[in-house]
Amino acid sequence: MPTDGLYPFQWSWDSAITALGWLEFDEERAWQEADVMFSGQWDNGMLPHILFHGDAESYFPGPDVWGSNTAVPSSAISQPPVWATAIRRMFETGKDRSLAESALERLLPKLIDYHDWWYRERDPDETGLVCSYHPWESGMDNSPAWDDALARVPEVDWEYQRRDLGHVDSEQRPHKPQYDRYLYLVDFYKKNGFDSDAIYKGCPYRVIDIGIVAILHRAGRDLVELCRLAGESAAIPSIESELARTQASIGTLWSKENRCFLNHDIVTGEPIEEVTTATVLPLFAGLANQSQSAYMADLIDEWLDATAFALSSTHPSSERFESQRYWRGPVWLHINWMIAEGLYDYGYDDLAERVKQATHKCVDKSGFYEYFDAMSGAGCGGGQFSWTAAVALYWLA
């Protein structure tokens, strides 16, 4: 679980990042993290963003609200697909080879199905840019990038009781009108019987999330490598053709003026002019060309000095920047790790080191909180947070 109280179940991308932390001192436990997560994979290949192991009374919305009725109770959307990247790293660095080899044999077909699901169900028109149906799917739930797209979604008309506010100060959490719309979308999938076609055509919220596109692409490259390592070459051509499609279309999301890629609102057909940490993740994916990477490196160079604690999840020049509210300004460690990895890949080693030092500074100041105020460095959200500790273990240490 990400943290007791606020998030008492298994979240998909938390789990992948956390497995990397476990790998540092308990390899069996790290692989178990993956096995348990994939035990909740849907028959169509989707990996839910939450698996509700056990009683979900303390959390809202629980499995009854999602209505997905699966063997392992779950939500009905996914999350940034970082799993193949985590598993490649686990496979390549794990010391217990027989453990790693048997785990890869079990997990590889599931990873292939999962990636297949993204392209089949979320990009039926083969644009190369998968779409996302919920801000929660981005993992950057309350990012200002989603504000306008979410504002067009109707509000639910039933009463409900939020549980998050019992754990965390309301100053650090989303407002009610946003929550009403989050829940409308949850209802919408259920009312449409989780039918991909109907949702793709009619969902009032559809965006191209550059974070998901980038993480999926990076994970796809790692998946190809895993297939090679496991001698499963038959699956490679179709993954490579999906990678090629994204590579061919990514340029449409580039904004030289902003020095980064932009999210895109599919409903209005417009780019979303908001610079967030997701908008530089194409570095992590290897999706940027040399000139684009140089622009992004420049942006990051300045961004690192723009707040006392960095990188702020939303650029501080945004009118919607708030240093401690969920995804509107605070720093998340695993995002810094991905950006730094991308910078190393493109040869910006000094800059990557600065991102690493900035990350260290948050933990040094406040410990293992969920996220950190970009101005004061104060720990925010849940305390004793799994992915924060995991990043400290496998990267900072």
Residues involved in catalysis: 141, 370
Instruction: Give the residue with the Cβ less far from ligand GLC, 188 or 385.
Output: 385
Q: How far is the CB of 244 from ligand GLC (least distance, A)?
A: 29
Helices (H), the chain: 12-23, 27-38, 63-66, 83-93, 97-122, 147-151, 176-191, 196-202, 210-229, 236-249, 282-285, 290-306, 333-345, 349-366, 386-391
Distance CA 331, CA 358 (A): 10
Q: How far is the CB of 335 from ligand GLC (least distance, A)?
A: 10
Distance CA 304, CA 311 (A): 6
What are the C-alpha distances in Å from 48 to residues 41, 43, 264, 294, 386? 7, 11, 23, 36, 19
Distance CA 186, CA 347 (A): 42
Q: Note whether 208 and 263 are within 8 A (CB).
A: yes
Distance CA 311, CA 324 (A): 13
Residues near ligand GLC (CB under 6 A) are 2, 7, 11, 13-14, 139, 141
Instruction: Give the residue with the Cβ less far from ligand GLC, 179 or 346.
Output: 179
Instruction: Give the residue with the Cβ less far from ligand GLC, 297 or 390.
Output: 390
Q: Is the peptide bond before 61 cis (omega within 30 degrees of 0)?
A: yes
Instruction: Give the residue with the Cβ less far from ligand GLC, 340 or 390.
Output: 390
Q: Note whether 299 and 280 are within 8 A (CB).
A: yes
Instruction: Give the residue with the Cβ less far from ligand GLC, 116 or 141.
Output: 141
Instruction: Give the residue with the Cβ less far from ligand GLC, 13 or 303.
Output: 13
User: 3-class SS at 251?
Assistant: helix
Q: How far is the CB of 14 from ligand GLC (least distance, A)?
A: 5
**DSSP string of 368-390, one letter each residue:** S-SEE-TTT--EESSSS-HHHHH
Q: How far is the CB of 381 from ligand GLC (least distance, A)?
A: 8
Sort 254 into a burial class: Cβ within 10 Å, 0-12 / 13-18 / 19+: buried
Amino acid at position 290, single letter: Q
